[in-house]
Structure formats: C-alpha cells, structure tokens
C-alpha cells in the first residue's frame, strides 16, 4: 500500500445513499412495520431489583377476551428443562433466556417476567394487571464493593468463580477472574523513580441510542418465521432466537430494519423471541416496543467499573511498570467486557513489565451489553488518568511522555501478538502540531489529553454484487449500517469497477438473501465487509475481462480493465462496463460477483484527544470549550463519516465523563430512567468537535482501512477527567464529573 | 444421461414449499400489499371500441380534494415526444405506452385513457366521472376478414405491412407477413394421392387466471422506487417501466408477489407504470387493481385465428406436402404470436415439402398477450384436424398415420435446426398402449386424438445458494413460480448437495437481490433456472470439498463428496455438509454458490392427447367423458407438478375448444366480460384427466429436463374438435364447439 496511491472515489465526500430516506422520514425503523392482523405485545416487568417469584398465575389474563397469547419462561422449550435453578451448570443460553423472561427470580428493576399479546397496545398493557404475581423481596446488590463482600446476597446459587488458581468451592458474585502479565512487575516498580497509584471508578451508563428496541414478527409453522427489528447483527438475532426456540436457522428470517443507533447495545435479543412465542401461540403477527424507561431499565447498559492503577517511571520519562486490578459489573448475569478491558488498559504503551488482573462481578442491575470499544473506556480511563498524573509528577509534557513510551510496530502486547505498523506516534505528533494543542489555555480552563486503543476486528462477511443489463447494480451485503457503511461499500465497489458510486445500490439484505455476516461491531464492517465488497468487485472485473475477451475473440489475459473500461490489448477496442453488461446475454448470462470471507488482519486503532474544560466554581457546572479528536483511520473511505465517528465517539465519551450515570435508590430502583434525568450531551452543550484524520494504512486491507467506530469513545474519559482536574486543581478519580461531585471536591478543598 | 440413473429426491413427490402458505391463506398475492399512507388508483376506460378522443380535460377532477394525482399519456416522458401519431415510425415502446394510456385514440372497449389516484378506492372511482372526455366514434374492426378487406377502417395510419416481397405503399391493418418453406410444395401435392384442404378458425380466448392484475408501488425520487405485482417476469416489468418512465434499471425494484395464475398473460405491464406515475405525482404509495371485467376487456387475451390448411398424402400414409395460410389477430397493436404459430404448425411431422405463410392483423380488441405455447394451439389445431381427416380418408388409424410421419431425431424443421432426440414417437407408442385408447368407444361418444409440439426455451437465469452455519440454506432465484418451480429448484439443489429438499428454502428474489432472470414462460424455468441451480449447487460442492480438504490438510482432489458427505480419500474421515458449514468460519467464511447462465439446449416437447366426448344431440351440450394426456417431460423432477401441468394444459385447451370465446357486439362492446358468461371448464365439468409421463431425457440438461408447461394446451383443440366431429358425424372447422354451434351443425345435417 503506497500512501501516494490515487483514488477516484475513495476519500471523496459522496452523497450518502441512506440520507434522503432518513431526512425525509421514509426510512423504516424498528417500530415502522405494521402488518395486517397484527396484535401487540406488552411485558410485565419486575418492580423489585432482587426477589423470588413466589406466585405467577396468568389465568385471569388468559380469560380476558382481548388477550390472544401469554409468554413466560416456560415457553423456552430447549432451555426450560435445563433451567432448574439450583441443579445446573450455568450457560449462556440459559442466562439469555432468564434475562429475557425471568425464571423464578427477578434480578433487576425492570426485569421482564411475562408477556401478553392483545388486540391493541393499550389492551396488552392493561391486561398486564391481570397477571397475579407475588414476590419475596431480597436485598439487592448494587455495587462491586457490595457484591464482593462476604455478607453479600448471592445472585446465582450455582455461580462459582472461574479462572482462580484453585477451583472455587462456594458460590460467589464474582463469575470470573482473568490475569495477564508481561515481564517482571516487581522488578519494574523497583526500577521506577516515581510511582502513581490510584483507584478510579466509572458509573453504569447507557449507549443512549435514540431508537428504542422494537420488533414485528410473524411466526410461520411451515415456512420461515419472520423477525423485523433494528439490530447490529440480524444473523445473530436469528441464531439466538433459533437456539432459544429450538428452531433451525432456515426456519427464521430476520430483516434488519433501519437502525436509530446501536453502539453495541443492539447486539443481543430482548423482545424478538418473546414476540415470536406470542405470534406462535396467537397465530398473528405481533409487534412489541420498549418505552424509553424500559430501554434504560432493561436493555444492556455499559459496565460500571472500579480500577486500581499503579504506574512507575524513571525521571527520564521511561515507564518501567504498569499494573491494574479491574472490576467490571456484568449486571444480573455474568459477562462484562472485563476481558477486553484487561487487554486494552495499557496497550498504548510499550512497557516491559505489565500485570493486569480482572474480575467479572454480578449485581442487581440489567445485564450489560457492548458499548463502543466494550471495556476499554473504563480501564483506559484509569490508566490514562494515572499516566497524566505521573507525567505531571516528573514534569513532562503528556505528549512527550507518551511519545517516549508509545506502542509501535513490534511492541509486544500483553494479550498476545506483536503490533504491526500502527498510528499512535503519528496521532501524538498530529496532536502536538494541532492548533488546539498550540493554543494557550484560557483562564479558568483545564486542558486534558489522553490516548486510546482498540483492536478492531475482522471476521466473516459475505457479499454479492449483481449488475443489471444497463450497468447499474446492487451490492448485497449483510452488515447493518450503523455508521455509514453503505456509503463505504458503494465507494469501494465503485473504485474497483470504475463506475459512479450512485450507480451501485448498497443493500443490507435479510438473513435469507445473503450468506452469514457477523454482527456490525468491533469496527469490523468497513474493514471486513469492505474486503468482501472489494473481492466481489474484483470477481466481477475478472468476469468483465472474460466477457470482453469473448466479444473480441481474444483471451482474458489480452484484456485490461481500468476505470470502468475494458481495453483490447491486441487492438484499439474498448468496452465500458455498461457495454459489457448490455451484451452479457450473448456472453453467458448476467454478471454477479461473490465473496465469502473470514477477514484477518484488522488494523489496531489509536486515538489522541485534547479537551479544554471550563468549570463554574459556584455550581460545579462544566463546559467543554474546545475539543479535538485525532485518530488513525488507516484510510478514510468517506472522510465525513470518519469525522462523524470521531465526533460521535468523543461526544459519548464526554457524556460518560461529565454527566451520565444510572442513579439507583437503595432498593435498587432506577431513578433516572429517561432523557430528562439521564443527561446525555446535546448539540447545544458542546463546541464543534475538531476532527483530525491520521492515515497510517493497514496493509492487510486493499485500501488501508482500519476501522474507526470504537476508539473515539476511549480517550474522552481521561481527557475530560484530566481537564477537570486541571481546572479545579484536584485529582479526579470518579466519573461522572457531575456538578454535585465537582462542587463537593471544590468545597472539600477550601 | 443414462435412463437408469438413480435419483434420491428427483422424481419424488415431495411436499411443495409454497403449499402451506397458499392453503392457509398466508401467501401474499398482487392485491395483498398495503402500505402506510397508501392511496388508490382507478382507471377511466373507453366505452367505445374505436374512437378519436376529441377532448380530454382533467381539471374538474384535479380540483377534487380527494384526488391526489392524475395520469394520462402525456406522462410518458420518453415516448411522448415520439408519439405524434401521424409522423413517426411505430415502435414497441410507443405501442406499449399507447396501450397503457391511450394517445388521442382509443382502440378497444375498455382501453385505458386516464388514471386518478385518490384517498380511497371509492373516491378514485367516483372522481373518474369528473374527467371531461369526448369521443368521435369510428367504425370498429372486429374480425380478420373485416380487417383485411379493402373497405376496412385503418387502426394505425402509420402501419405498413412488413415482410412483403415489395415494400408496402399504403397503411394496412396487416402489420407483418411471414413465410417459411421447405422442399417443393407443388411437387409434394402433385405426389399426393389424397388431399385435404379446409379453413379453420379459433376465437379470442382469455387465459382465465383467477387473480386479476394488481399492484402497489412507491415512487422514491432518490432510492429505488418499488413495484409489487404478480408477474411472470419482474425483471421485464422493471425494464418496461424503466423505459416508459425514462429511469435507470437501478432506480426501480420490482418484487414479484405470489401469483394466482399467469399462463403468459402476466408477461407485460398495464397498471404498474401508471401507478408509479401517480405515486411520483402524489408522493404516496399507490395501489391499483383490475376488476374481472377490466381483466377480460383490457388485459391480453389470446389471438383469434383463421387457418387454411392443405395436406396431401399417399395411400400408404406418407404425407407428401403440408401447406398453411395463417392469420392471427394481434388486437389493437401489432404483435400476435403469428411467428411461433407458423413455426410450430407442422413440426410434429417429418415431411419433405412444407409451406407456411402467416399474417399479423390488428383489430379493435385488446392487444393480445402470450397464452401457453403462444400461437401454437391455433395453428396446430388446424393442422391436426386436417391430419385426422386425411388419416380417416385413407383409412389409417390416427396414431399409425402419425407414427409413419412422426418428427424424430434428425428431422429438419421448417424454422431452422434439425431436431435432436425427441419423444413424439414414444408418446404415440404410449398412446397406443394406453388403457384409454384400447378401451371401446362408448355409444354416442366420439374419440379424437391429436399431437402437439412446442419448442421450449432456455435463456438467462441467475441463482445464488446461501448455506447457513447449520447446513440449512436458501436458494435465491429470480423466476416467478407459476407452476411449482420452487419445488423443482429445491429438489435439484438437494439432489446435488445430498440434503433434504426441505432444508433448502427456494426464494423468488426481487430484482435487487438476484441478477437478471428472463421471464417465466416458454417452459424455460425448470430447464434453465434449474440448470443454474444445479450449477450453483455444484459450485458449492467444489467449495465443500475444498473446505473439507482444508480441515483434513489434504488437497481438494483427495476429497470425494457424495450424498451430502465429504469423504477423505486418504483415510476414513467423513464430514457432512452441516459439519463443514458449522466449521466454515475457520475455513474461510460461510458458503455461497453462484450461477449466471444463458441456458442453451432446450429440449423440444411433444404431446399426444386422447379425448372422448359425448354430445347431447337435443341441446348440443358436450361432455368430456374420458381424457388422457401423454407428454414427454424429458425428466419429471416432481411428477405431481408435471401431471398438474399436463392436466392444466388439457383443461385450458378443452375450454378453448368447447366453450370459451370473447363475444362482441357489432359495436365492439365485449358482452361476456365475466366468469358467468365467459365459460371456463370447472372441476365439476370434467373427468379426471389421465396423465401419462413419457421420459425421453434432454441430454443438454443435467437431469434430462425438457419443460412441460406449454405443450399440454396444444393437442386438446384438435382432440376435442375431432371427438366432437366423430360424435356428430360432421366436420368441425370452427371453435368453440359450443352448444349453439353444434346444434346448428346437427340441424343443418338433418
């Protein structure tokens, strides 16, 4: 990959193919499909954070003439037999089932218990009152400290901590322990001149996608049943529902609707299997929607965390050792992103001695889901805060300190591979050269800087490109578009085929019309599905050459294809792609390109953010006055979308750092389950986020793509935290830096 | 192709994949799609058969608040400029446009003039009365004799007869003449001992599909517009609408709904472009439906015909010459199936001297469309009647007479190629051996026998097969299923892949999700799309072998794949298709098979039918008392469907022969535009049609398929005609043999 490579479409800011439908309201989201004969489902949710269900009698509801079907945990046939709570090894499917409809026990406020389908939404909601349910309320576990204390109620009697040196002998709220190490951590700290050690914590936060979960389904006992829903991975919706309802994959068709935000939170199932049970029982299409309150209380927020960080360095700025103990809340069922949290925490640094220990802890909150670079913002927040504190202690500029220790080609990661060419140094240099970093810090303003790392991933993608007889065509892909990937696919295919991007319509096909694609997440889509698009387009180019050769009576090797035109190398003849398509009938039928891949070679992504924050010392209110996000995209296929990803990640990280948090009462009742009380940053709250695209190509992708979706949410936590600390002259160790907390810090310092 | 080849699935009577949805009412037909915000379109139709439009003022309708859009011929942008009736060469697109919405002149009763979209269907229909329209009524031309007479009004002032020896010098109602010949026709007749010469005629008949035309469309000025309709060829709907509305193919997506019968009649467009104009103007989804009366008056029935046949033979039964002069009504615009009528008329016979002349004639009736073996029933009716009369004259059994002269491998056809291996002799032998032919003829019953020939066709098909990680999968094809082709595709793919047919879901994809496929018709689908399915499945087998090889660390050549299982030829290892799919992630991603072909080698199809008819000599009423249909399928993939095609063809041919006909008043008003007055045979009218499948494989198809959809409608006309002639002891030369006509013949003979 030469950096001087010239592109015709890639790197341009083309018109987004989904834009018109979205701005005109024509795009159909999760709640936008209604079907003839459709009925509505509603869910009875737990008012308690932790309780045994002592009675569940649906007979009065069943007798209601408006009620056409009722679903409970008993309706998961394949997990039901295995789900005797006290006698079975826990497994993911059972947890998923128990999270979707509680089995004998509710584990968080809002936990679904039963569902009713009725002739109208109002009737379904009203009929919930006819379910006779009684609870034995238990003490809730609402924090990591509480969960791991000896006195804590145990959420799951069968949960034994995995990953201990000695097998666990009794049930625990810690589901798993993980340990990663490199070098000699003791020797590393012994070699340090200065050591910073501090505990940090981050709150439960929500992805805050604007579109609530919703689904419309039709059960078909013969043909495939249909599920329509907004999801980042309709193939995984299919797999999960098939497993829960004991169906073959071919018996379910999932259609990914347009999606109003996911950010990792739309990678699992809540309503879909329930709706399908209700449809099966009623013989009717069923629609279900979550309210905003349901979304907050009972979808999958991001883990709250506690991190103990210890970093040592020599006075010359060389970091000698880094150590972390990380606790992640999993919510009611095991499975936090503790693993990637441990793997990413120190990866921006090329340090010889590392030690990381992580714990996955269950609490009486909703089961967490992925949220942009899952696990990384929490752990890297802590690490970056400590690094900044250390840099300050030894009197080094935070960029210089990072440049001295920056991860680079050849750095041995704590989790396995050595890094290939990466762009952290380039990002740090770009930060150093940025107008923002070179601007003086205004009065009453603190400036913070932080780095971030995310792996990016590859994985399985399948693509078909169909050309029409007039040379227009469709790109049939299976990656739901949460960040502009349709535009990227269009541009990459257009680049290879030498046609206008707008002549190729990118379509996110349902699970029947394209082969398996992994979920959109991990920043895999533009990389991996993009590779599949390129391969499918190259497959077409080979066919175009063969077809032109047949028309010219030469061999395919005697044909060159460039910028959409085939050239007969034995003469002067030329045929455009459209010419060849128009004649395809005569040369063997119309043309389709195909690619099924499991993409390897994802390019790690680094970012550096700079944040200026002004703090009102009377009220503790914070204002971001300037913000710059610098990130290595590898290659920005569509720069506007890339900038949008940088900006969106920054904004979500800023919200996480400054204001967002789940507020629970002592009984475990979520008290701020709405956008009025759960405070995400609005456009009016923030300055324009300055986006600087660094391009250090990923040599494993034909155009150099790394993926840009995740990393941008990582640096803001520490950039903001450091900026606030600088502004108030106090260390920050707990997010969010909300006005009450800031005020408390300011007052305690007086 | 060995006839002894053993199949696992092919030839079985598997459960039809579309059956459940159809019998439970879940299948969605043309009128079954409604969309949010949808409005309704209605069409103003001409009350006259032939008239100039002297005034067309839509302003009162436009002023109606319920009316959201109006469409007239002026809305066809690309044809409008070229459509000055008296100054332009006629072309197909202009004719299509003028047929869809009349341009200055109406040419048949029911001809569409203008369309209105309004908030409800009732409002749209009511608003038609607000269109101010005035006509100058012209004398209609309602028969071939009238059309070709010197005094006839000319329908199209620019229409000059094509195909004359000397270029035409003045406008005519004959659009084209065609001539085919072989040998020396004069010498042939000179060599004959006996000659039969007789004129025959057949009426205008309708395909009688149960589902009227209907469509729902959404115009989208940015993304692709969507058209939902029942059609035999959604790709051709796309092409025609794109041409009429000056759009790229990529700007239109056509979804083929389930289809309630087509038989050739759903191969063109009527409502679709009009609805799209109305949707574009209104910004709303638009639904349009034809009434049954509209379908009769203004869709595309089959040509009425006049045939003059002359056949000569020696007393030993050798046919020495066959001659035909064929006139086909095209309806209001040129383009009857005169061509195939000429090509097929004598093809069942291996005769040295042939001469055929055909004429395409316009009349003031709806423009004809294809109807099962278009053109062949009319001409072959006449030829078979004459052949039967000749056989009788020389005292030969009609089967023996045909066997003596039967087309066979090597026969030089009048239209070009020599026949490859064909099954006419096998069908004649099967007829001779059939229980029916060997049963005595009951009293008052006549027995008739006739043969039939249809080419069958190949053409372009594209198929993708996607396998799921559990080994189930989908067959993505683009051939609307009018006769059970989904079952056949499933079985052919299952045969190659060695899996249960039910594990592969055959899907007729829309125009975006699969590459171009020709229209389902000509009996091409099981042959050509079947070949594509086989090729796609074989493509998968190659990949399965490669994947298994990768898992075993051997070469693909060291792997055999048989009955769904890969075998490691270097050892004992086996992997099922499902095993390989489950591991596909590790071996390169999931698996799709692909085929884009232009299928050659369609296998001609012959049939022989035997009919016993009892005639009530008091009333002229006919009763089919026994009927046997014998046909060469090549290979019957799903015998039940093949028998169904034989039976359905026979029943439609019986209706054509006995009762069906368009009845026009002298003013050209269709007087029987409904199923009460247009008499198609009902189940209660007929005995079980005995179906005998002959299998003479087509060596160009991997399983020997020829295609069975068309030929079965050809022999009934002469088999019935001859049976009636035998029963009443009078020659039959005019269809239908309706009670009044029979009675008239009986009375004239008394």
Give the domains, in start order, of chain A with CATH numbers: 39-138+211-260+266-298 (3.90.1170.50), 305-456+603-748 (3.30.365.10), 458-599 (3.30.365.10)
Q: Which of A468, A476, A588 to mutate to test the interface with B (most CBs of B within 10 A)?
A: A468
Rounded CA-CA distance A374/A711 in Å is 10
pLDDT interval class at A84 (50, 70, 90): very low
Average pLDDT of the residues of chain A: 96
Rounded-to-integer distance, Cα B680 and Cα B371, Å: 15
Cβ atoms of B148 and B159 closer than 8 Å: no
**Does the beta-carbon distance from B250 to A503 stay under 8 Å?**
yes
Handedness of CA B418, B420, B425, B431 (dihedral sign): negative
Give the list of residues 6+ apart from residue B592 with CB closer than 8 angstroms, or none: A462, A464, A514, A515, A594, A596, B464, B465, B466, B467, B540
B28 near A CB under 8 A:
no
Per-residue pLDDT at A670 exceeds 80: yes
Judge if the upstream peptide bond of residue A78 is cis by omega within 30 degrees of 0. no
pLDDT of residue A87: 43
Of B21, B512, B513, the CB nearest to A223: B21
- What digits encode the pLDDT tens for the residues A626-669? 999 999 999 999 999 999 999 999 999 999 999 999 999 999 99
CB contact under 8 A, A505 and B513: no
Q: Which residue has the tokens 């409604």?
A: B34
Per-residue pLDDT at A89 exceeds 80: no
CB-nearest to A462 from B17, B251, B589 is B589
CB B506 within 8 A of CB B484: no
User: Which residues on chain B are in Cβ contact (under 8 Å) with A586?
Assistant: 598
Report the C-alpha gap between B336 and B313 in whole angstroms: 31
A 316-355: CB under 8 A from B: none
Tell me the C-alpha distance between B11 and A168, whole Å.
61
- A85 — pLDDT class (breaks 50, 70, 90): very low
Q: Which residues from chain A sit within 8 angstroms of residue B21, using beta carbons?
A: 220, 222-223
Say whether residue A467 is in contact with chain B using an 8 A CB cutoff. yes
Cα distance between residue A722 and residue A380, in whole Å: 13
Question: How are beta strands B225-229 and B214-218 bridged, if at all?
Answer: antiparallel
Chain B's closest residue to A220, CA to CA, is B21
Establish if A398 touches chain B: CB-CB under 8 angstroms.
Answer: no
* pLDDT, averaged across chain B: 96
CA distances from A53 to A44, A113, A188 (A): 13, 9, 53
- The residue among A18, A223, A580 with the most chain B CBs within 10 A of its CB, best to mutate, is A223
- pLDDT number for residue A78: 66
Q: What does the pLDDT look like over B82-107, one tens digit per residue?
A: 544 444 445 688 999 999 999 999 99
pLDDT tens for residues B654-695?
Answer: 999 999 999 999 999 999 999 999 999 999 999 999 999 999
**Best mutation target, A457, A590, A594, A601, to test chain B (most B CBs within 10 A):** A590
pLDDT value at B212 more than 60:
yes
The model's pLDDT over B130-139, given as tens digits with 9 standing for 90+, comes to: 999 999 999 9
Convert the pLDDT of each residue in A433-469 to its tens digit: 999 999 999 999 999 999 999 999 999 999 999 999 9
User: Which B residues 548-607 touch A at CB under 8 Å?
Assistant: 584-586, 588-592, 594, 596-598
Min Cα–Cα distance to chain B from A27, Å? 11
Q: Are residues B474 and A513, on separate chains, in Cβ contact within 8 Å?
A: yes
Ordered alpha helix ranges (H), B410-529: 424-433, 435-438, 485-497
How far off is chain B from A275, nearest CA to CA, in Å? 19
Which pLDDT score, from 0 to 100, does residue A6 have? 87
Direct distance between the N- and C-terminal alpha carbons of chain A, in angstroms, rounded to an integer:
58
Q: What is the pLDDT of residue B79?
A: 66
Provide mean pLDDT across the span B50-71. Answer: 98
pLDDT in tens, A229-280: 999 999 999 999 999 999 999 999 999 999 999 999 999 999 999 999 999 9
* Shortest alpha-carbon distance between residue B597 and chain A (Å): 4
d(CA B109, CA B669): 6
- pLDDT of A267: 96
Which has the closest alpha carbon to B299: B272, B279, B278?
B272
Do A468 and B222 lie within an 8 Å CB cutoff? Answer: no
**ipTM score of the complex?**
0.93
Using a CB-CB cut-off of 8 Å, the residues of chain A touching B462 are 466, 589-590, 592
pLDDT band at B5 (very low <50, low <70, confident <90, very high): confident
Neighbours of B730 (CB within 10 A): 14
Mean pLDDT of B47-70: 98
């Amino acid at each position: 990959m030469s950096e001087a490579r010239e592109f015709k479409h890639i790197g341009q800011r083309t018109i987004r193919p989904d834009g018109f439908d979205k701005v005109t309201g024509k795009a159909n989201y999760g709640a936008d499909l209604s079907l003839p004969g459709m009925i509505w489902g509603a869910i009875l949710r737990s008012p308690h954070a932790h309780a045994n269900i002592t009675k569940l009698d649906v007979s009065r509801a069943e007798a209601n003439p408006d009620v056409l079907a009722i679903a409970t945990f008993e309706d998961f046939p394949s997990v039901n037999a295995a789900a005797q709570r006290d006698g079975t090894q826990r497994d993911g499917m059972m947890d998923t089932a128990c999270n979707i409809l509680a089995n004998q026990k509710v584990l968080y406020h809002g936990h679904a218990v039963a569902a009713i389908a009725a002739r109208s939404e109002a009737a379904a909601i009203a009929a919930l009152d006819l379910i006779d349910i009684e609870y034995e309320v238990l003490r809730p576990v609402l924090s990591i400290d509480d969960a791991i204390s000896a006195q804590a109620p145990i959420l799951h009697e069968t949960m034994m901590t995995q990953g201990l040196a000695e097998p666990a002998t009794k049930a625990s709220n810690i589901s798993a322990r993980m340990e990663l190490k490199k070098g000699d951590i003791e020797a590393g700290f012994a070699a340090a001149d200065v050591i910073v050690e501090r505990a940090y914590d981050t709150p439960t936060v929500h992805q805050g996608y604007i579109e609530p979960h919703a689904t419309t389904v039709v059960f078909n006992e013969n043909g495939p049943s249909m599920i329509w829903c907004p999801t980042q991975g309709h193939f995984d919706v299919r797999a999960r529902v098939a497993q829960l309802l004991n169906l073959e994959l071919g018996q379910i068709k999932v259609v990914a609707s347009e999606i109003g935000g996911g950010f990792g939170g739309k990678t699992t199932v809540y309503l879909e299997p329930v709706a399908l049970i209700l449809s099966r029982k009623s013989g009717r299409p069923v629609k279900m929607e979550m309210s905003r309150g349901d979304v907050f209380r009972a979808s999958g927020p991001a883990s709250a965390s506690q991190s103990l960080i210890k970093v040592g360095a020599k006075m010359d700025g060389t970091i000698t050792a880094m150590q972390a103990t990380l606790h992640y809340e999993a919510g009611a069922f095991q499975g936090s992103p503790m693993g990637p949290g441990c793997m990413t925490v120190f990866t921006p640094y090329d340090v010889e001695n590392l030690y990381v220990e992580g714990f996955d802890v269950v609490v009486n909150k909703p089961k967490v889901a992925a949220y942009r670079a899952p696990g990384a913002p929490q752990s890297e927040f802590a690490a970056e805060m400590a690094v900044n504190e250390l840099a300050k202690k030894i009197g080094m500029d935070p960029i210089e300190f990072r440049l001295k220790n920056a991860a680079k080609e050849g750095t041995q990661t704590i989790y396995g591979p050595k890094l290939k060419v990466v762009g952290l140094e380039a990002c740090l240099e770009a930060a150093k050269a940025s107008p923002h970093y070179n601007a003086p810090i205004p009065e009453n303003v603190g400036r913070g800087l932080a780095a971030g790392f995310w792996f990016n991933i590859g994985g399985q993608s399948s693509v078909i490109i169909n050309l029409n007889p007039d040379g227009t065509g469709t790109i049939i892909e299976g990656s739901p578009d949460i960040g502009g990937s349709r535009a990227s696919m269009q541009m990459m295919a257009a680049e290879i085929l030498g046609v206008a991007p707008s002549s190729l319509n990118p379509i996110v096909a349902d699970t029947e019309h394209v082969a398996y694609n992994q979920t959109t997440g991990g920043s895999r889509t533009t990389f991996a599905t993009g590779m599949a698009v390129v391969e499918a387009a190259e497959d077409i180019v080979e066919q175009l050459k063969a077809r032109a050769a047949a028309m010219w009576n030469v061999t395919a090797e005697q044909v060159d294809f460039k910028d959409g035109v085939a050239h007969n190398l034995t003469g002067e003849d030329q045929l455009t792609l459209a010419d060849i398509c128009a004649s395809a009938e005569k040369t063997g039928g119309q043309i389709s390109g195909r690619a099924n891949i499991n993409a390897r070679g994802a390019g790690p992504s680094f970012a550096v953010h700079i944040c200026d924050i002004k703090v009102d010392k009377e009220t503790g209110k914070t204002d971001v006055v300037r913000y710059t996000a610098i990130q290595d995209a590898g290659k920005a296929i569509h720069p506007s979308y890339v900038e949008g990803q940088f900006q969106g990640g920054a904004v979500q990280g800023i919200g996480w750092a400054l204001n967002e948090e789940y507020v629970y009462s002592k009984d475990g009742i979520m008290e701020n389950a709405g956008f009025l009380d759960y405070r995400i940053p609005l456009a009016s709250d923030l300055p324009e986020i300055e986006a600087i695209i660094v391009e250090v190509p990923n040599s494993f992708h034909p155009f150099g793509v790394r993926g840009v979706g995740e990393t941008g949410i990582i640096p803001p936590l520490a950039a903001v935290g450091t900026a606030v600390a600088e502004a108030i002259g106090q260390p920050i160790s707990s997010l969010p830096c909300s006005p009450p907390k800031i005020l408390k810090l300011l007052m305690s310092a007086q």
